[in-house]
Structure 1
């Protein structure tokens, strides 16, 4: 609509200018100005329609010369048809002459010349602008693809950072159990195998269900229970309505590992880890708490915390919250928007 109004006003102004010129130099009748405005609007509107809607006339070919020939022929037709419409309106509204088909004489030649002189540069300009916009769109699409590839690559790097300290401790625990309790050693091997299956199966998955994430940390904590025995107690509480909600894969395991390393290992006495996943105001809130030493005033930020922060930043930009707090108890709190399975594809 804006383009139609703009085109109409431009045609009116051109007709007004040309009519005023003829009024003072050739035909000093006020109706002359009106006649030229009508003629300009009729021819200019058709000419602009041809230029701005050119895709409907040239969709069947990409040959530049053929497209130009088609536009030139249409501009000529616009001049002729537009002038005939102007004659009809003049005869109907002004009534100073009867309408006769193809009775314009030299007026047609002048109209064709004006249509070509004005229309061809317009067409070339619009084609250039359209081509530039297409190139910009393609470049933006390529940049988006590169950004997505960069994000995927960085996520893969984060997934690849398996803590060798964890593997060393599990292997030592297995070695110690083989001689004194082979059954427990076998259970631990099965748990470790299950944990690695999670890693392999989710290697290309960016998001998975809350239930899967909880299964991962349950497996991890069960392995750590073999190592710490009575020194470790853990509780996991999940809102049943969130089981099938989507969260970033392996988002909680590094935090649980961090709680083991900095909360349970330094304590000679019993240690407790609590994991909660709950809904608050349309957000999925994940809390990892332990009763170990408090976070320092200025957290040093181990690898696990950095991995989680980087992943959240990559996936959510700034649309998430990540908090370390010692009040009312030591805990890490993550809050992200609830998402459904179809919103993400790993």
Structure 2
């Protein structure tokens, strides 16, 4: 493993801080002596010990988990660094002041100096050891969180696709015999939907445009199945086309609106999906707000309400949904965007349900893709 200049510099700065603290403590115990003496000795011994120990890690070989040599080599390197660092640092300081510590210093002072060096060496080495281990664990946790998010996406796909696919194929079977043109139209949307699904399953994020494209294909399929009982509006401002969004974030919400809102209602209803940017509070980054609303039967008044997510505004009803899709959306938001992200459900002003998603607005790099959705699309 090669030396990391940033980590090495950070270790050097931290060692200098430790040396200054040690010299200040020594001066407090012996204020009759000039501060320059403990300062020079502390810096000389500390820097020599740091150089030998820190550079020795790269010579002996480090454990990727802790950034320290494995087994007995770690303590042996620390002991060697303390002995040689103390000896070299003391000789340098003696040369600076023009005296000999071993001949002119009292035996008690010499013994105290050795004890201070040993204690400081053990404490500082332990600090760096634990720091390296902690940083490694944090990196592994980030990797594990990323893998867990991908696993959640795969699991979500396995839950969403069969239910929708079987219903679509059953409708296709009926339409082929009675309305071939309508069946062809439905099959075209199914192919586009499956193609988008395959693309989404290979990415951890994509543009909001791609997410809306997928919703359009899904809603077009549902529109063929439900007929005039389903209408929808997708509103995506041009400035938000390349806003970053995790794949499959919105489809569970739209599917919930259809399954629990519109299908139980005889006359069906309308679904609206709208994206907009909001200014962040107190200079914070701008927020992306996505609203999924329907005019269905609305929320059950007797449903138990779980605790609200952080940063939930007072007018919002705590999330009443405990289904698989809503749980996955909530967990993915928390994993990817932290406590600043929020998901909430509330009663619609004229009935139905409104779902609000908010998280920090992030843009994807521009790519020369062809957009096939209009900024605002209405279907009745």
TM-score, normalised via structure 1 length: 0.74
- 1:33-85 per-residue CA deviation (whole Å, 9 max, x = no partner) reads 548x6655543442233234545664663266677556534433433332343
**1:214 positional shift:** 0.9
**1:297 positional shift:** 1.4
1:339 corresponds in structure 2 to 362
- Distance 1:280-1:140 versus aligned 2 partners, 3 A rule: closer
Pick the aligned partner of 1:305 from 308, 326, 339. 326
Q: Larger Rg: 1 or 2?
A: 1
Matches within 5 A, 1:160-171: 160-162=158-160, 164-171=162-169
Q: Is the Cα–Cα contact under 8 Å of residues 186 and 224 in structure 2 kept in the other structure?
A: yes
- 1:235-259 per-residue CA deviation (whole Å, 9 max, x = no partner) reads 2221111111012212222222222
CA RMSD of aligned residues (A): 3.4
Distance 1:317 1:195 in 2: 30
Q: Is the Cα–Cα contact under 8 Å of residues 245 and 340 in structure 1 kept in the other structure?
A: yes
**1:117 positional shift:** 5.6
Q: Is the Cα–Cα contact under 8 Å of residues 323 and 333 in structure 1 kept in the other structure?
A: yes
Q: Which has the higher helix share?
A: 1
**1:217 positional shift:** 1.1
Secondary structure, counterpart of 1:274 in structure 2 = strand
Q: Is the Cα–Cα contact under 8 Å of residues 289 and 329 in structure 1 kept in the other structure?
A: no
Distance 2:329 2:77 in 1: 58
Distance 1:103 1:120 in 2: 20
Matches within 5 A, 1:237-256: 237-256=235-254
Aligned residues: 311
Q: Is the Cα–Cα contact under 8 Å of residues 14 and 40 in structure 1 kept in the other structure?
A: no
**1:174 positional shift:** 1.0
2:296 corresponds in structure 1 to 292
Secondary structure, counterpart of 2:160 in structure 1 = coil
Q: In structure 1, list runs of 5 or more residues that go unmatched.
A: 17-32, 88-101
- Distance 1:166-1:310 versus aligned 2 partners, 3 A rule: same
Pick the aligned partner of 2:348 from 301, 304, 326. 326
2:220 corresponds in structure 1 to 222
Q: Is the Cα–Cα contact under 8 Å of residues 239 and 279 in structure 1 kept in the other structure?
A: no
Secondary structure, counterpart of 1:321 in structure 2 = strand
1:99 corresponds in structure 2 to none
Pick the aligned partner of 1:158 from 156, 159, 162. 156
Distance 2:39 2:325 in 1: 70
- 1:9-32 per-residue CA deviation (whole Å, 9 max, x = no partner) reads 23434554xxxxxxxxxxxxxxxx
Matches within 5 A, 1:1-346: 2-13=17-28, 15-16=30-31, 34=33, 39-55=37-53, 58=56, 61-62=59-60, 68-69=79-80, 72-87=83-98, 106-107=103-104, 116=114, 118-162=116-160, 164-269=162-267, 271-281=269-279, 282-299=286-303, 301=321, 302-318=323-339, 319-330=341-352, 331-341=354-364
- Distance 1:261-1:60 versus aligned 2 partners, 3 A rule: closer
Distance 1:104 1:286 in 2: 72
Q: Which moved more, 1:193-202 or 1:164-173?
A: 164-173
Distance 2:253 2:100 in 1: 88
TM-score, normalised via structure 2 length: 0.68
Q: Is the Cα–Cα contact under 8 Å of residues 7 and 48 in structure 1 kept in the other structure?
A: no
- Distance 1:49-1:290 versus aligned 2 partners, 3 A rule: closer
Distance 1:163 1:141 in 2: 33
Distance 2:162 2:137 in 1: 42
Distance 1:194 1:295 in 2: 32
Q: Is the Cα–Cα contact under 8 Å of residues 276 and 288 in structure 2 kept in the other structure?
A: yes
Q: In structure 2, list runs of 5 or more residues that go unmatched.
A: 1-15, 61-72, 280-285, 304-319, 366-380
